[in-house]
Chain A
Amino acid sequence: MNTLSDNALMLRVKEGENHKLGLLYERYKKRLFGFFYQMNKNASLSEDLVQNVFIRVLKYKHTFSEDSKFITWIFQIARNEIYDQFKKSKKENHNDIDTVSYHLNTGATIENEIEISENKINLKKAIAKLSPEKKELIILSKLKELKYKEVGEIIGCTEGTARTKVHRALNDLKQIYLTLESA
Protein backbone atom coordinates (compact mmCIF):
# COMPACT_ATOMS: atom_id res chain seq x y z
CA MET A 1 0.00 0.00 0.00
CA ASN A 2 1.22 3.46 -0.82
CA THR A 3 1.08 5.80 2.10
CA LEU A 4 2.78 8.78 0.53
CA SER A 5 0.99 12.04 1.24
CA ASP A 6 -0.64 13.98 -1.58
CA ASN A 7 2.08 16.60 -1.35
CA ALA A 8 4.89 14.04 -1.48
CA LEU A 9 3.30 12.41 -4.52
CA MET A 10 2.87 15.72 -6.32
CA LEU A 11 6.50 16.63 -5.63
CA ARG A 12 7.51 13.31 -7.24
CA VAL A 13 5.34 14.17 -10.26
CA LYS A 14 7.05 17.54 -10.39
CA GLU A 15 10.43 15.79 -10.46
CA GLY A 16 9.36 13.83 -13.52
CA GLU A 17 7.71 10.72 -12.12
CA ASN A 18 4.52 11.37 -14.05
CA HIS A 19 3.10 7.92 -13.31
CA LYS A 20 2.66 8.96 -9.66
CA LEU A 21 -0.13 11.20 -10.89
CA GLY A 22 -2.21 8.04 -11.24
CA LEU A 23 -2.41 7.71 -7.46
CA LEU A 24 -3.42 11.34 -7.05
CA TYR A 25 -6.04 10.88 -9.74
CA GLU A 26 -7.50 7.91 -7.88
CA ARG A 27 -7.61 9.93 -4.66
CA TYR A 28 -9.21 13.02 -6.18
CA LYS A 29 -11.31 11.94 -9.16
CA LYS A 30 -14.57 11.58 -7.24
CA ARG A 31 -14.18 14.80 -5.29
CA LEU A 32 -13.40 16.77 -8.44
CA PHE A 33 -16.16 15.10 -10.41
CA GLY A 34 -18.62 15.84 -7.57
CA PHE A 35 -17.53 19.47 -7.49
CA PHE A 36 -18.02 19.91 -11.24
CA TYR A 37 -21.25 17.94 -11.35
CA GLN A 38 -22.83 20.01 -8.59
CA MET A 39 -21.82 23.13 -10.47
CA ASN A 40 -23.07 22.19 -13.94
CA LYS A 41 -25.30 19.07 -13.57
CA ASN A 42 -23.68 17.61 -16.65
CA ALA A 43 -21.91 14.28 -16.01
CA SER A 44 -20.17 14.02 -19.36
CA LEU A 45 -18.93 17.61 -19.21
CA SER A 46 -17.79 17.07 -15.62
CA GLU A 47 -15.72 14.07 -16.70
CA ASP A 48 -14.06 16.20 -19.38
CA LEU A 49 -13.36 18.90 -16.82
CA VAL A 50 -11.71 16.38 -14.46
CA GLN A 51 -9.51 15.34 -17.38
CA ASN A 52 -8.67 18.99 -18.11
CA VAL A 53 -7.69 19.54 -14.47
CA PHE A 54 -5.09 16.79 -14.72
CA ILE A 55 -3.82 18.16 -18.03
CA ARG A 56 -3.31 21.46 -16.22
CA VAL A 57 -1.66 19.69 -13.28
CA LEU A 58 0.94 18.28 -15.68
CA LYS A 59 1.31 21.57 -17.50
CA TYR A 60 1.77 23.65 -14.36
CA LYS A 61 3.46 21.07 -12.14
CA HIS A 62 6.50 23.37 -11.88
CA THR A 63 4.37 25.86 -9.90
CA PHE A 64 3.69 23.36 -7.13
CA SER A 65 6.05 23.98 -4.22
CA GLU A 66 6.78 22.26 -0.93
CA ASP A 67 4.76 24.97 0.83
CA SER A 68 1.69 24.34 -1.31
CA LYS A 69 -1.12 22.21 -0.01
CA PHE A 70 -2.16 19.80 -2.75
CA ILE A 71 -5.92 19.90 -2.13
CA THR A 72 -6.07 23.69 -2.26
CA TRP A 73 -3.75 23.78 -5.27
CA ILE A 74 -5.82 21.29 -7.28
CA PHE A 75 -9.12 22.99 -6.38
CA GLN A 76 -7.67 26.31 -7.49
CA ILE A 77 -6.98 24.63 -10.83
CA ALA A 78 -10.47 23.10 -10.86
CA ARG A 79 -11.93 26.51 -10.18
CA ASN A 80 -10.05 28.08 -13.08
CA GLU A 81 -11.21 25.23 -15.26
CA ILE A 82 -14.85 25.76 -14.42
CA TYR A 83 -14.61 29.52 -14.93
CA ASP A 84 -13.05 29.05 -18.35
CA GLN A 85 -15.83 26.65 -19.16
CA PHE A 86 -18.48 29.13 -17.93
CA LYS A 87 -16.99 31.81 -20.16
CA LYS A 88 -17.01 29.44 -23.10
CA SER A 89 -20.61 28.35 -22.55
CA LYS A 90 -21.71 31.97 -22.04
CA LYS A 91 -20.38 32.77 -25.49
CA GLU A 92 -22.27 29.84 -26.92
CA ASN A 93 -25.39 30.27 -24.85
CA HIS A 94 -26.30 33.41 -22.97
CA ASN A 95 -29.03 31.80 -20.92
CA ASP A 96 -26.98 29.49 -18.81
CA ILE A 97 -29.07 29.47 -15.69
CA ASP A 98 -32.35 29.76 -17.56
CA THR A 99 -31.45 26.60 -19.43
CA VAL A 100 -30.87 24.76 -16.19
CA SER A 101 -34.19 25.99 -14.80
CA TYR A 102 -35.90 25.06 -18.04
CA HIS A 103 -34.59 21.54 -17.75
CA LEU A 104 -35.86 21.36 -14.23
CA ASN A 105 -39.29 22.68 -15.21
CA THR A 106 -39.76 20.36 -18.13
CA GLY A 107 -38.16 17.38 -16.50
CA ALA A 108 -41.24 15.21 -16.64
CA THR A 109 -39.38 12.43 -14.89
CA ILE A 110 -38.82 14.65 -11.87
CA GLU A 111 -42.48 15.50 -11.56
CA ASN A 112 -43.52 11.97 -12.20
CA GLU A 113 -41.54 10.69 -9.32
CA ILE A 114 -43.96 10.88 -6.48
CA GLU A 115 -41.38 10.59 -3.76
CA ILE A 116 -39.69 13.83 -4.81
CA SER A 117 -41.59 16.49 -2.97
CA GLU A 118 -42.32 19.97 -4.22
CA ASN A 119 -39.90 21.27 -1.61
CA LYS A 120 -37.09 19.34 -3.13
CA ILE A 121 -37.92 20.66 -6.59
CA ASN A 122 -37.97 24.19 -5.23
CA LEU A 123 -34.64 23.61 -3.57
CA LYS A 124 -33.19 22.41 -6.85
CA LYS A 125 -34.54 25.46 -8.61
CA ALA A 126 -33.12 27.71 -5.91
CA ILE A 127 -29.69 26.09 -6.24
CA ALA A 128 -29.86 26.51 -10.00
CA LYS A 129 -30.63 30.21 -9.52
CA LEU A 130 -27.80 30.76 -7.05
CA SER A 131 -24.82 32.55 -8.62
CA PRO A 132 -21.93 30.24 -9.62
CA GLU A 133 -19.62 31.99 -7.12
CA LYS A 134 -21.96 31.30 -4.21
CA LYS A 135 -22.78 27.80 -5.33
CA GLU A 136 -19.08 27.09 -5.57
CA LEU A 137 -18.50 28.37 -2.02
CA ILE A 138 -21.09 26.04 -0.57
CA ILE A 139 -19.81 23.04 -2.54
CA LEU A 140 -16.21 23.69 -1.51
CA SER A 141 -17.12 24.18 2.15
CA LYS A 142 -18.96 20.88 2.11
CA LEU A 143 -15.73 19.02 1.38
CA LYS A 144 -14.55 17.61 4.68
CA GLU A 145 -10.90 18.45 4.11
CA LEU A 146 -11.60 22.11 3.41
CA LYS A 147 -12.03 24.48 6.34
CA TYR A 148 -12.69 28.21 5.92
CA LYS A 149 -8.92 28.72 5.77
CA GLU A 150 -8.47 26.42 2.76
CA VAL A 151 -11.62 27.69 1.05
CA GLY A 152 -10.14 31.18 1.48
CA GLU A 153 -6.87 30.07 -0.10
CA ILE A 154 -8.72 28.61 -3.06
CA ILE A 155 -10.90 31.62 -3.76
CA GLY A 156 -8.20 34.11 -2.79
CA CYS A 157 -9.34 35.71 0.47
CA THR A 158 -8.78 35.49 4.21
CA GLU A 159 -10.28 32.86 6.48
CA GLY A 160 -12.68 35.41 8.01
CA THR A 161 -13.87 36.65 4.63
CA ALA A 162 -14.39 33.08 3.47
CA ARG A 163 -16.56 32.41 6.53
CA THR A 164 -18.66 35.52 5.91
CA LYS A 165 -19.05 34.61 2.24
CA VAL A 166 -20.15 31.04 3.02
CA HIS A 167 -22.75 32.35 5.51
CA ARG A 168 -24.02 34.86 2.96
CA ALA A 169 -24.20 32.25 0.22
CA LEU A 170 -26.37 30.01 2.37
CA ASN A 171 -28.60 32.92 3.36
CA ASP A 172 -29.00 33.84 -0.30
CA LEU A 173 -30.00 30.28 -1.09
CA LYS A 174 -32.64 30.43 1.64
CA GLN A 175 -33.95 33.74 0.29
CA ILE A 176 -34.22 32.42 -3.27
CA TYR A 177 -36.00 29.35 -1.96
CA LEU A 178 -38.50 31.40 0.04
CA THR A 179 -39.23 33.59 -2.98
CA LEU A 180 -39.89 30.52 -5.08
CA GLU A 181 -42.11 29.03 -2.39
CA SER A 182 -44.25 32.14 -2.07
CA ALA A 183 -44.49 32.58 -5.85
Chain B
Amino acid sequence: MDYKEFENRTVDYLSDNLSSEEIKEFEAFLVLNPEFQQEFEATKLFWNGDSEEVPEPTSKMDMNFYSLLKAEEEKADKVSILKKLQNFFSIKPVKQFAYTLAILTIGFFIGNGFNKEDNLSEEKIEVAQKETQDVRSQLVLTLLDQPSANKRLQAVSEVNKLNTVTKTIIKALFSTLNKDENVNVRLSALEALKKYTEIPLVREGLISSIANQTSPLVQMELADLMVVLQEKKAVKSFEKLIDKEDVNTSAKEKMKESIQNII
Protein backbone atom coordinates (compact mmCIF):
# COMPACT_ATOMS: atom_id res chain seq x y z
CA MET B 1 0.00 0.00 0.00
CA ASP B 2 1.57 3.30 -1.03
CA TYR B 3 1.07 6.58 0.84
CA LYS B 4 -1.73 7.84 -1.41
CA GLU B 5 -3.65 4.61 -1.06
CA PHE B 6 -3.04 4.61 2.68
CA GLU B 7 -4.47 8.14 2.89
CA ASN B 8 -7.60 7.13 0.96
CA ARG B 9 -8.06 3.94 2.93
CA THR B 10 -7.80 5.88 6.20
CA VAL B 11 -10.79 8.05 5.31
CA ASP B 12 -12.76 5.03 4.06
CA TYR B 13 -11.89 3.22 7.29
CA LEU B 14 -12.92 6.13 9.52
CA SER B 15 -16.16 6.68 7.62
CA ASP B 16 -17.03 2.99 7.93
CA ASN B 17 -16.94 2.39 4.21
CA LEU B 18 -14.72 -0.68 4.18
CA SER B 19 -15.82 -4.29 4.10
CA SER B 20 -14.92 -6.44 7.12
CA GLU B 21 -12.07 -8.02 5.14
CA GLU B 22 -10.70 -4.63 4.12
CA ILE B 23 -10.91 -3.46 7.73
CA LYS B 24 -8.82 -6.43 8.90
CA GLU B 25 -6.34 -5.84 6.10
CA PHE B 26 -6.04 -2.14 6.97
CA GLU B 27 -5.62 -2.80 10.69
CA ALA B 28 -2.97 -5.44 9.97
CA PHE B 29 -1.15 -2.93 7.76
CA LEU B 30 -1.10 -0.41 10.61
CA VAL B 31 0.38 -2.98 12.97
CA LEU B 32 3.10 -3.91 10.47
CA ASN B 33 3.86 -0.29 9.56
CA PRO B 34 4.05 1.73 12.78
CA GLU B 35 5.38 4.73 10.85
CA PHE B 36 1.89 5.16 9.41
CA GLN B 37 0.26 4.88 12.83
CA GLN B 38 1.00 8.50 13.76
CA GLU B 39 -0.41 9.75 10.48
CA PHE B 40 -3.50 7.63 11.04
CA GLU B 41 -4.00 9.05 14.55
CA ALA B 42 -3.70 12.60 13.21
CA THR B 43 -6.30 11.97 10.52
CA LYS B 44 -8.55 10.38 13.11
CA LEU B 45 -8.29 13.54 15.18
CA PHE B 46 -9.35 15.63 12.21
CA TRP B 47 -12.11 13.22 11.40
CA ASN B 48 -13.58 13.29 14.88
CA GLY B 49 -13.27 17.07 14.99
CA ASP B 50 -15.28 18.45 17.88
CA SER B 51 -18.17 16.02 17.54
CA GLU B 52 -17.71 14.75 21.07
CA GLU B 53 -18.83 18.14 22.34
CA VAL B 54 -22.42 17.88 21.12
CA PRO B 55 -24.73 18.58 24.07
CA GLU B 56 -27.95 16.68 24.76
CA PRO B 57 -31.12 18.28 23.41
CA THR B 58 -33.39 19.61 26.17
CA SER B 59 -36.79 18.23 27.12
CA LYS B 60 -38.27 21.45 25.72
CA MET B 61 -37.56 20.07 22.26
CA ASP B 62 -39.61 16.96 23.10
CA MET B 63 -42.45 19.01 24.51
CA ASN B 64 -42.53 21.18 21.39
CA PHE B 65 -42.54 18.15 19.14
CA TYR B 66 -45.34 16.39 20.99
CA SER B 67 -47.43 19.57 21.06
CA LEU B 68 -46.91 19.83 17.31
CA LEU B 69 -47.96 16.23 16.85
CA LYS B 70 -51.02 16.69 19.01
CA ALA B 71 -52.04 19.83 17.10
CA GLU B 72 -51.55 17.96 13.84
CA GLU B 73 -53.72 15.09 15.02
CA GLU B 74 -56.46 17.49 16.12
CA LYS B 75 -56.28 19.21 12.75
CA ALA B 76 -56.62 15.87 10.99
CA ASP B 77 -59.72 15.16 13.03
CA LYS B 78 -61.37 18.34 11.86
CA VAL B 79 -61.75 17.08 8.31
CA SER B 80 -64.47 18.87 6.44
CA ILE B 81 -67.68 18.68 8.46
CA LEU B 82 -69.65 18.09 5.29
CA LYS B 83 -67.56 15.06 4.44
CA LYS B 84 -68.01 13.76 7.94
CA LEU B 85 -71.76 14.27 7.75
CA GLN B 86 -71.85 12.53 4.39
CA ASN B 87 -69.95 9.57 5.77
CA PHE B 88 -72.03 9.61 8.89
CA PHE B 89 -75.31 9.36 7.08
CA SER B 90 -74.05 6.77 4.67
CA ILE B 91 -73.88 4.11 7.38
CA LYS B 92 -76.94 1.90 7.44
CA PRO B 93 -77.54 1.86 11.23
CA VAL B 94 -77.06 5.63 11.34
CA LYS B 95 -79.70 6.05 8.66
CA GLN B 96 -82.08 3.93 10.67
CA PHE B 97 -81.41 5.86 13.84
CA ALA B 98 -81.70 9.18 12.06
CA TYR B 99 -85.13 8.16 10.81
CA THR B 100 -86.13 7.00 14.28
CA LEU B 101 -84.96 10.30 15.76
CA ALA B 102 -86.85 12.26 13.10
CA ILE B 103 -90.04 10.29 13.71
CA LEU B 104 -89.69 10.73 17.44
CA THR B 105 -89.20 14.48 17.07
CA ILE B 106 -92.17 14.80 14.70
CA GLY B 107 -94.21 12.67 17.09
CA PHE B 108 -93.18 14.92 19.94
CA PHE B 109 -94.38 18.06 18.16
CA ILE B 110 -97.61 16.46 16.93
CA GLY B 111 -98.30 15.28 20.44
CA ASN B 112 -97.45 18.75 21.67
CA GLY B 113 -100.01 20.21 19.22
CA PHE B 114 -102.74 17.83 20.28
CA ASN B 115 -102.16 18.53 23.91
CA LYS B 116 -101.87 22.31 23.60
CA GLU B 117 -105.01 22.93 25.54
CA ASP B 118 -104.14 20.38 28.16
CA ASN B 119 -100.69 21.92 28.71
CA LEU B 120 -98.52 18.89 28.02
CA SER B 121 -97.53 17.45 31.30
CA GLU B 122 -93.88 17.50 32.28
CA GLU B 123 -94.02 13.78 32.65
CA LYS B 124 -94.73 13.33 28.93
CA ILE B 125 -91.90 15.65 27.92
CA GLU B 126 -89.59 13.65 30.10
CA VAL B 127 -90.69 10.42 28.44
CA ALA B 128 -90.03 11.85 24.97
CA GLN B 129 -86.65 13.19 26.03
CA LYS B 130 -85.77 9.87 27.57
CA GLU B 131 -86.63 8.08 24.38
CA THR B 132 -84.43 10.45 22.37
CA GLN B 133 -81.62 9.88 24.83
CA ASP B 134 -82.05 6.14 24.57
CA VAL B 135 -81.88 6.25 20.80
CA ARG B 136 -78.78 8.43 20.98
CA SER B 137 -77.15 6.09 23.49
CA GLN B 138 -77.82 3.16 21.21
CA LEU B 139 -76.35 5.13 18.33
CA VAL B 140 -73.18 5.73 20.36
CA LEU B 141 -72.80 2.04 21.13
CA THR B 142 -73.34 1.07 17.49
CA LEU B 143 -70.84 3.60 16.21
CA LEU B 144 -68.20 2.59 18.75
CA ASP B 145 -68.14 -0.84 17.14
CA GLN B 146 -67.46 0.51 13.66
CA PRO B 147 -64.10 -0.46 12.15
CA SER B 148 -63.40 3.06 10.93
CA ALA B 149 -61.62 5.33 13.41
CA ASN B 150 -63.59 8.33 12.09
CA LYS B 151 -66.87 6.65 12.95
CA ARG B 152 -65.64 5.85 16.42
CA LEU B 153 -64.63 9.48 16.86
CA GLN B 154 -68.14 10.50 15.84
CA ALA B 155 -69.48 8.08 18.43
CA VAL B 156 -67.53 9.82 21.15
CA SER B 157 -68.72 13.23 19.99
CA GLU B 158 -72.30 11.91 20.17
CA VAL B 159 -71.69 11.17 23.85
CA ASN B 160 -71.10 14.87 24.40
CA LYS B 161 -74.68 15.54 23.28
CA LEU B 162 -76.16 13.28 25.92
CA ASN B 163 -77.63 14.89 29.01
CA THR B 164 -77.10 11.83 31.14
CA VAL B 165 -74.87 8.85 30.59
CA THR B 166 -75.67 5.28 31.39
CA LYS B 167 -73.34 2.74 32.90
CA THR B 168 -73.19 1.01 29.53
CA ILE B 169 -71.96 4.18 27.82
CA ILE B 170 -69.34 4.74 30.51
CA LYS B 171 -68.21 1.14 30.13
CA ALA B 172 -68.01 1.51 26.36
CA LEU B 173 -65.99 4.71 26.71
CA PHE B 174 -63.53 2.99 29.04
CA SER B 175 -63.20 0.07 26.70
CA THR B 176 -62.38 2.60 23.95
CA LEU B 177 -59.92 4.47 26.17
CA ASN B 178 -58.10 1.26 27.08
CA LYS B 179 -58.29 -0.81 23.94
CA ASP B 180 -58.85 1.33 20.88
CA GLU B 181 -55.92 1.05 18.49
CA ASN B 182 -56.23 4.68 17.41
CA VAL B 183 -54.69 7.31 19.69
CA ASN B 184 -57.09 10.01 18.53
CA VAL B 185 -60.08 7.91 19.48
CA ARG B 186 -58.50 7.14 22.85
CA LEU B 187 -57.87 10.83 23.43
CA SER B 188 -61.41 11.82 22.56
CA ALA B 189 -62.80 9.06 24.82
CA LEU B 190 -60.67 10.52 27.60
CA GLU B 191 -61.98 13.98 26.76
CA ALA B 192 -65.58 12.71 27.02
CA LEU B 193 -64.90 10.93 30.30
CA LYS B 194 -63.44 14.11 31.83
CA LYS B 195 -66.99 15.45 32.17
CA TYR B 196 -68.01 12.65 34.47
CA THR B 197 -65.18 12.69 36.98
CA GLU B 198 -67.61 13.42 39.80
CA ILE B 199 -68.77 9.79 39.43
CA PRO B 200 -66.45 7.68 41.65
CA LEU B 201 -66.55 4.80 39.17
CA VAL B 202 -65.18 7.07 36.43
CA ARG B 203 -62.36 8.31 38.66
CA GLU B 204 -61.41 4.74 39.56
CA GLY B 205 -61.56 3.74 35.91
CA LEU B 206 -59.33 6.62 34.87
CA ILE B 207 -56.72 5.72 37.47
CA SER B 208 -56.60 2.07 36.45
CA SER B 209 -56.46 3.13 32.81
CA ILE B 210 -53.06 4.81 33.33
CA ALA B 211 -51.32 1.44 33.29
CA ASN B 212 -52.95 0.51 29.97
CA GLN B 213 -51.67 3.49 28.04
CA THR B 214 -48.72 3.22 25.73
CA SER B 215 -49.15 6.47 23.80
CA PRO B 216 -47.21 9.41 25.29
CA LEU B 217 -50.04 11.74 24.26
CA VAL B 218 -52.61 9.85 26.32
CA GLN B 219 -50.15 9.44 29.18
CA MET B 220 -49.51 13.19 29.29
CA GLU B 221 -53.22 13.98 29.04
CA LEU B 222 -53.95 11.65 31.97
CA ALA B 223 -51.11 13.21 33.92
CA ASP B 224 -52.70 16.64 33.44
CA LEU B 225 -56.12 15.37 34.39
CA MET B 226 -54.91 13.73 37.59
CA VAL B 227 -53.40 17.05 38.70
CA VAL B 228 -56.74 18.78 38.12
CA LEU B 229 -58.49 16.04 40.08
CA GLN B 230 -55.70 15.99 42.70
CA GLU B 231 -56.02 12.22 42.61
CA LYS B 232 -53.41 10.79 44.98
CA LYS B 233 -54.25 7.21 44.04
CA ALA B 234 -52.84 7.88 40.57
CA VAL B 235 -49.31 8.46 41.88
CA LYS B 236 -48.49 4.74 42.14
CA SER B 237 -49.63 4.05 38.59
CA PHE B 238 -47.50 6.93 37.28
CA GLU B 239 -44.48 5.77 39.26
CA LYS B 240 -44.79 2.32 37.69
CA LEU B 241 -44.89 3.86 34.22
CA ILE B 242 -41.90 6.08 35.00
CA ASP B 243 -39.89 2.98 35.94
CA LYS B 244 -40.64 1.31 32.62
CA GLU B 245 -37.87 1.55 30.04
CA ASP B 246 -39.93 1.86 26.88
CA VAL B 247 -41.94 4.86 28.06
CA ASN B 248 -41.30 8.12 26.26
CA THR B 249 -38.99 10.49 28.13
CA SER B 250 -41.21 13.56 27.74
CA ALA B 251 -44.18 11.61 29.06
CA LYS B 252 -42.02 10.54 32.00
CA GLU B 253 -41.08 14.17 32.66
CA LYS B 254 -44.72 15.16 32.52
CA MET B 255 -45.73 12.39 34.92
CA LYS B 256 -42.97 13.33 37.35
CA GLU B 257 -44.18 16.91 37.20
CA SER B 258 -47.74 15.80 37.84
CA ILE B 259 -46.73 13.67 40.82
CA GLN B 260 -45.05 16.75 42.30
CA ASN B 261 -48.19 18.78 41.74
CA ILE B 262 -50.48 16.16 43.23
CA ILE B 263 -48.43 15.76 46.39
Residues of chain A whose beta carbon lies under 8 Å from any beta carbon of chain B? 1, 16, 18-19, 21-22, 25-26, 29-30, 33-34, 37-38, 43, 46-47, 50-51, 54-55, 58, 120, 123-124, 127, 138-139, 141-142, 144, 147-148, 163, 166-167, 170, 173-174, 177
What is the chain A residue whose CB lies nearest that of B246?
Answer: A1
What is the chain B residue whose CB lies nearest that of A1?
Answer: B246
CB distance from A147 to the nearest CB of B (A): 5
Q: A22-B248, A166-B15 are in contact. Are A29 and B61 (CB under 8 A)?
A: yes
- Report how far A177 CA is from B11 CA in the complex, Å: 17
Whether B17 pairs with A163 at a CB distance below 8 angstroms is yes
- Report how far A50 CA is from B133 CA in the complex, Å: 49
- Report how far A54 CA is from B45 CA in the complex, Å: 33
- Report how far A139 CA is from B15 CA in the complex, Å: 10
Whether A148 pairs with B60 at a CB distance below 8 angstroms is no
Q: A38-B54, A46-B57 are in contact. Are A170 and B248 (CB under 8 A)?
A: no
Interface contacts beyond A33-B57, A37-B55, A127-B50: sample of 17 additional A-B pairs, CB < 8 Å, sorted by A: A18-B76, A19-B215, A22-B217, A30-B56, A37-B54, A38-B51, A43-B55, A47-B58, A47-B60, A50-B57, A51-B68, A54-B68, A120-B50, A123-B45, A138-B49, A142-B15, A170-B46
CB distance from A41 to the nearest CB of B (A): 9
Q: Which residues of B lie under 8 Å from residue A139 when comparing CB positions?
A: 51
Which DSSP category, helix, strand, loop or mixed, fits chain A's interface? helix
Q: Which residues of A lie under 8 Å from residue B76 when comparing CB positions?
A: 16, 18
B64 adjacent to chain A (CB < 8 Å): yes
Task: Count CB-based A-B contacts (< 8 Å).
Answer: 98
Q: Which residues of A lie under 8 Å from residue B54 when comparing CB positions?
A: 33-34, 37-38
What is the chain B residue whose CB lies nearest that of A37?
Answer: B54
Whether A123 pairs with B50 at a CB distance below 8 angstroms is yes
Q: A19-B183, A22-B66, A54-B65 are in contact. Are A173 and B46 (CB under 8 A)?
A: yes
B204 adjacent to chain A (CB < 8 Å): no
Whether B45 pairs with A170 at a CB distance below 8 angstroms is no
CB distance from A107 to the nearest CB of B (A): 12
What is the chain B residue whose CB lies nearest that of A50?
Answer: B61
Q: Which residues of B lie under 8 Å from residue A47 when comparing CB positions?
A: 57-58, 60-61, 64
